[in-house]
Amino acid sequence: LRLLKESAAEEVCDSLTKTLGTNPLLQRELDLSGKIHGDSEIQKLSLLLEDSHCRTKNLNLCRLNNNRISEKGCVDLFSALCSNPSHLIELDLSGNKLGDSGMQKLCDLLENTQFKLSNLQYVVF
C-alpha cells in the first residue's frame, strides 16, 4: 500500500484502519513516506499495528521516512511491533529525529529473535 495523494494525517490513519482491517492483499508493503506528520499520528499507526485483528502479520516492508517522528514516536512504534510481531524485513525511518532512546529501541528490535528485520534504514538529513 503506497499513499500517493497528499492527505491530512488523520485521513491517512482512518483510511489505513479501514483498509488493513478488511483487505488481505494490502499486507506486505506499507509506504507512508512523508504522509504521517509527527508523533500523534505515529501513535495512531502504532495502535493499528498493535491490533491483533489488523492484517499486518505478513508485513515485510514499512517505509516511514520523513514523517517527523521523534524519540517518543519511535518508542510507540517499537512497542507496537513487539506486541504484534510481524514478518517485517525492512524498516525505513530515514529523515526522522529518533534520538538516543529511539535508536536504542531500534537496536533492540534488530537483536530480537522474534523478528526477521534485516534492513533498517535510518539516515538523518
pLDDT digits (tens, 9 = 90+) for 9-42: 556 566 665 666 565 545 678 888 988 888 988 8
For residue 48, give the C-alpha cell.
Answer: 493499528
**Does residue 3 lie within any of the structural domains?**
no
Residue 2 domain flag: no
Q: Which of 75, 22, 14, 83 is nearest to 49 (CA)?
A: 83
We report the CATH number of the domain holding residue 88 as: 3.80.10.10
Strands (E), 1-125: 29-31, 61-63, 90-92, 119-121
Domain count, the chain: 1
Q: How confident is the model at residue 1 (pLDDT cuts 50, 70, 90)?
A: very low
Evaluate whether residue 35 is within a structural domain.
yes
Domain with 74 in it:
9-121
Q: What is the pLDDT of residue 70?
A: 94
Is residue 113 included in any domain, yes or no?
Answer: yes
Q: What is the pLDDT of residues 38-79, one digit of tens each?
A: 898 888 888 878 876 665 667 888 899 999 999 999 999 998
Q: Is the pTM of this model over 0.75?
A: yes
